[in-house]
Each structure stands twice: as structure tokens, then as C-alpha cells.
Amino acid sequence: MSYEVQDFETQVLERSKQVPVLVDFWAPWCGPCRALGPVLERMAKQAGGRWELAKVNTEENPEVAAAFNIASIPAVKLFVDGKVADEFVGALPEPEIRRFLDRALPSPSAEHLAEARRLLAEGANGPAARLLKPIVDAEPGNLEARVLLAQALLSSAPEQIAAMLEPVGPDAEVADKANALRTLARLAHLAGQPAALPEAKVRDRYLAGAAALRAGDFATALEAFIEVLLRNKEYDHAGAKEACKAIFQLLGMRHPLADRFFRAFSSALHS
């Protein structure tokens, strides 16, 4: 099967409006290109129609190479909806190419992810989890889906969150939210285990915050944790401070609850 492009406008720009097209800019004299090409071709055959491969010989198509500022080859660009969505340069090993594609390709479940975000914003964690689990099963490399499912599991199975988030590394775009959920998962798991926490006057309020987390009531959780922070900053290894920071990280600083509670948190932190 030939992947060589004869008509870039039709085979890449127009075609990418139906399916993502991965374009390999190469030349016959380029050693790394000759190493990368067969890897991309093999992966394209295994892609199951999720993306297609097109190859552009820069010696034969200098005008196309110039139009896309190809300064070094091999250069690989992913086209989606007629535009470059992401790219890399050099002969990457196959595992790195797969990670690139997992990150860069549009999810076939984009509409379901948007619906899951809406359900989570409304506190409907159960329906969100039922929507997200098949996505994670089908797309284990979809880190956004994993983070959303982990958030949904706060209410029902916080003990599963660590394993759910294990593939989310420190360089992932969703790494901050994943770390926030790891913090909150521990607290949600503690909600029904008062004996696991040290005796202190603030323990009941701390547990109330943990229970509110498990119920998906972030406002009540913040109120409780800020009160603990005012009374005993070091309780549970500064757990109240970490809980508040994690909630703000998960919801985002533009969320109404961040606007409502961040000043009180900051004041308690520095009191």
C-alpha cells in the first residue's frame, strides 16, 4: 500500500475533516526517515481507522514542505479538520509515538466526555461514572477520562482512585488534577474511619469535611477544612490545608466556590 501524497489538498487537508491524518515529511537520503517510515506504516495498519497515514517526499514536494516550515526531517504533523493539531520532529521510538497519538488524537468519545463533565458539575457522580467507565475501558490512554472517572469515584469508591490514576504521570496535562484527586481520595476514604485519625478537638470537623467530600459537597467540605485550619493547622500532617488546595485545584480558580472560599482559606492559612 502506498501512502505517498499526490494531492496534498485532497488527501490531507480535506481528508482530515473526516479522519485525522498523520503526515510524515521525509526524503530518500534521510537515514532517520527510513527508520521511522516503516514504524508509522505498521502503526497505520493497526490503527483501525482512527487515523490515517500520508507521506510527503520533501524532495518532490518542496512547496508543501515550505508551506509547513519543514526545517528538519523526519517531521511528523497530525492534521485534524484541515489544520495541524500537533507534531514532533525526529525518529521517535514506537512507544513514544503511541503516547503522542494518545495525547493528540481527538477522542471518539468527546461528546460523552462533555456530558460527563456536565454531570459532575451537577453532582451526578453515579451517572457520570457509568458513562465514563466504558470510555476508560476502550481508551486506556485517555487520561482526561481517567481523571473524570476518578472524580466520579470520590463518592462511591475512593479506594479505587489510586489505581485509576496510576497511568497519569507528572508530565501529563491533567497531572495537577490527578494529584488533587489522590489527596481527596485519601480523605474520602477516611470519612468512615475515625479511628484512623489522631485524637484532637478538631477531629470531628475534619471528619465532617471528609464526609462532605465523599458526598460531593465541596462547599461544606471547604467550610469544615477552613475551620480546622483556623484551629489546628498541623492536624493530620496539615491535611486541612492540602484538602483545600486540592479542591481548588480540582475545580479551578474560576469556579464560584473558589471565588467564595479562597479568601477565607488564605486568611486562615496565614492567621
Active site residues: 30, 33
Could you give the CA distance from residue 187 to residue 1 in angstroms, rounded to a whole number? 55
On whether the CB atoms of residues 14 and 82 are closer than 8 A, the answer is yes
On whether the CB atoms of residues 208 and 197 are closer than 8 A, the answer is no
Strand partners, 64: none
Q: Quick one: which of 175, 166, 190, 176 has its CA closest to 239?
A: 190
Strand partners, 73: none
Q: Which residues, at least 6 apart from 48, have a Cβ–Cβ distance to it below 8 Å?
A: none
Give Cα 165 distance to the centre of its chain: 10
Q: Quick one: which of 164, 161, 206 has its CA closest to 186?
A: 161
Cis-peptide into 38, omega within 30 deg:
no
